[in-house]
């Protein structure tokens, strides 16, 4: 694991840091984590006729935004896909949204 961490840290460059900061500031603020995700989970909950609940902070770190019943779901802005955001291994269906 130490070797993997060392290799990963060697790949960090200015572009990766810039994308991470942009993602944090622009997309993981109140708009991204609050209003948009909440509205999407409410809509999915209605469509699938099931309850939803938000993830714990630990689950958020793994890319899970919440759950529809017991199915984990990740919600990301469309720009996340288009710009090839940070290399994450999200083990959940991803719902992309676009703000208008």
HEC profile of the chain: CHHHHHHHHHCCCHHHHHHHHHHHHHHCCHHHHHHHHHHHHHHHHHHHCCCEEECCHHHHHCCCCEEECCEEEEEEEHHHHHCCCCCCCCCCCEEEECCC
Residue 85 in tokens: 């955001």
Question: Three-class SS of residue 6?
Answer: helix
**10-47 pLDDT, tens per residue?**
989 998 888 888 777 766 655 555 678 888 999 999 99
Q: What is the mean pLDDT of the chain?
A: 82
Residue 54 has pLDDT above 70, yes or no: yes
């Amino acid at each position: 694991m130490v070797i993997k961490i060392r290799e990963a840290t060697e790949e960090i460059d200015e572009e990766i840091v810039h994308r991470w900061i942009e993602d944090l500031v622009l997309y993981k603020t109140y708009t991204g984590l609050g209003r948009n995700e909440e509205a999407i989970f409410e809509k999915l909950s209605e469509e699938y006729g099931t309850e939803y609940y938000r993830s714990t902070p630990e689950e958020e770190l793994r890319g899970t935004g919440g759950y529809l019943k017991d199915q984990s779901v990740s919600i990301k802005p469309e720009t996340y896909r288009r710009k090839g955001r940070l290399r994450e291994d999200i083990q959940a269906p991803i719902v992309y949204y676009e703000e208008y």
